[in-house]
Amino acid sequence: MTSTLNTDQLLVDDATWWRQATVYQIYPRSFADANGDGIGDLRGIISRVPYLQGLGIDAVWLSPFYPSALADGGYDVADYRDVDPRIGTLDEFDEMVEALHGAGIRVIADIVPNHSSDDHVWFQEALAAEPGSPERARYIFRDGLGADGSEPPADWTSMFGEPAWTRVPDGQWYLHLFAKEQPDFNWDNEDVREDFRKTLRFWSDRGVDGFRIDVAHGLTKELGESLPSQAEIDAITEPGAHPLWDRDEVHEIYADWRKVFDEYTPPRIAVAEAWVSTPRRPKYASAEGLGQAFNFDLLEADFDAEQFRTIIADNLALSAASGSSTTWVFSNHDVVRHATRYALPPRNGSTVKQGLKWLLSGGTKPVADAELGLRRARAATLLMLGLPGSAYLYQGEELGLPEVADIPAAERQDPAFFRNPGVDMGRDGCRVPLPWTRAGSSFGFGPDGAHLPQPASFGELSVEAQDGAPGSTLELYRAALALRHELQAAETLEWVRSPSDVLHFARPGGWHVVTNFGTDAVPLPDGEVLLASGPLAGNLLPGATTAWIRTV
Ligand code: NOJ
């Protein structure tokens, strides 16, 4: 399929390309390995550009490819303006951007501004320097409590479950909201601000079209002389009052970045990864700020018509109010893949919460209904691809890959697993390298094995096995993305009255999207069936199935 954006001129001219784009997330270490070291690389991505073009996506978002000790899968960045030598070189990066642009695919890079790696030269300089020095002022260092300062400045817990303050040899402590190898930057420091402007320009000058901003709600902190306890922090409910997250001052940084984005034609885009309440999201997505923000509401929802309807209506209203377009996503490198989440029996009324618990318990109990999970995942995705706004896809979901739950402990990599033994299975199960071929070394991921073990079932889920196979998940995604380009018009939808287990909406141009969340088949509306996520029963739409219908 030829992308409608397949000319340099169109890439330059269209400043609104992001509003209804389909963005495909590549987790570089697990996408394709060209040099045979078991780790995906930029040459691997270059070799798969025809695949990405054939899929019909508008952009790729690359998770971090920077030099990193991999304390957190690359989100511990040692150098923001280079490529990890295991992944490639800057020249290869340029080659990759050129190849993707040549295929009409834009490139979004992941920027990690809340924290660096402890290997970052600035953190090393901070460790070597005195307390109170300018080098330490780029991070958040404090003296400890108690007579000898041996107690941390506060009892806070990091996102990975360990204490959030770590002591350095001279007795001071530094803050890390994630792993101890990820010291938090001090965003009151002008060096930090200037360095990130430099990074944004560095990648924009190399042709990057936009940025995904990691932990966008975390950068600015309100740390007074005496710090509140974890219990006191946990009790704060007033929006904007939390000392660590989602502070209003963070938007000054994004207003500043907006000026950098607007130095380019078309302006560089940005999408905030900000886990904030739905009403706080528009500020991140405002035109004066980052422009767009992830909306994780569907990802956190059950396969349930009413939940979907409310989430869709609320988010379209919110994005209309902020002038942005909303984003939809079901899977990414941090969560249990949706084909598996939807495979779990609900417990306490929620499949999602159960999915997380299932992962925590080792992914063996209760037994998942994989067939049902995939059927629902395909239906949910086809619904999402019919919605106005941008759709974010995660590598491998187009193959219907399940979460790989039984990775042996010795082969796991995610710090979340090691730091919470027996409590958290971590995120390796959604980061297992992609299967490209039915057989052979690492199912075609690379010539010499893969850095995480792939299950035998990956062979029949491979690109080779699904390519051209009628009804395969890959062919469903290809068909949906091609049609989406053709059908996409104004960013509006109209709900059509339907039974309570069914969602039915119409987009301009006579495009109807109908999803049956229930178990009993329901009559299809009149019109031409363009595509369905599963077999139809005559003119009936079976349970856990979506159909796209054209009425004019
Ligand atoms: C969000 C990223 O998606 C996740 O993978 C990472 O662990 C944290 N931010 C910290 O950077």
pLDDT along the chain (552 residues), means of 10: 43 84 98 98 98 98 97 97 98 98 97 98 98 98 97 94 95 97 98 98 98 98 93 92 96 98 96 92 94 93 94 93 92 92 70 52 62 96 98 98 90 84 82 97 96 96 98 98 96 96 97 98 97 97 98 86
Probe target for ligand 1 pocket from 29, 214, 335, with the most ligand atoms within 8 Å of CB: 214
What is the pLDDT, as a whole number, of residue 252? 98
Of ligand 1's listed atoms, the one at least distance from the Cα of 63 is 3
- Taking the centre of ligand 1 as the mean of its atom positions, its distance from the CA of residue 511, in whole angstroms, is 37
- Taking the centre of ligand 1 as the mean of its atom positions, its distance from the CA of residue 75, in whole angstroms, is 6
As a dihedral over the C-alpha atoms of residue 255, residue 259, residue 260, residue 266, rounded to 10 degrees, the angle is 120
What is the pLDDT, as a whole number, of residue 346? 66
Quick check: CB of 214 below 6 Å from ligand 1?
yes
Question: One-letter amino acid identity for 524?
Answer: L
207: burial class by Cβ within 10 Å (0-12, 13-18, 19+)?
middle
What is the pLDDT, as a whole number, of residue 354? 47
Distance, CA of 171 to CA of 143 (rounded, Å): 7
Quick check: CB of 296 below 6 Å from ligand 1?
no
Per-residue model confidence as pLDDT tens digits over 65-77: 999 999 999 999 9
What is the pLDDT, as a whole number, of residue 12? 62
- Taking the centre of ligand 1 as the mean of its atom positions, its distance from the CA of residue 178, in whole angstroms, is 8
Q: Which residues are catalytic?
A: 214, 263
Of ligand 1's listed atoms, the one at least distance from the Cα of 160 is 7
Distance, CA of 140 to CA of 164 (rounded, Å): 11
What is the pLDDT, as a whole number, of residue 68? 98
Half-sphere exposure of 413 (CA within 13 A, CB side): 18
- Taking the centre of ligand 1 as the mean of its atom positions, its distance from the CA of residue 457, in whole angstroms, is 28
Give the DSSP letter string of 73-114.
TT-S-S-TTS--TTT--HHHHHHHHHHHHHTT-EEEEEE--S
Contact criterion met (CB below 8 Å) for 46 and 94: no
Distance, CA of 417 to CA of 73 (rounded, Å): 12
Of ligand 1's listed atoms, the one at least distance from the Cα of 334 is 5
* Atom 2 (ligand 1) nearest CA: 214
The pTM is what? 0.95
What is the pLDDT, as a whole number, of residue 6? 46
Of ligand 1's listed atoms, the one at least distance from the Cα of 114 is 11
What is the pLDDT, as a whole number, of residue 350? 54
Quick check: CB of 112 below 6 Å from ligand 1?
yes
Quick check: CB of 178 below 6 Å from ligand 1?
yes
Beta strand pairing status for 59-62 and 106-111? parallel
- Taking the centre of ligand 1 as the mean of its atom positions, its distance from the CA of residue 333, in whole angstroms, is 9
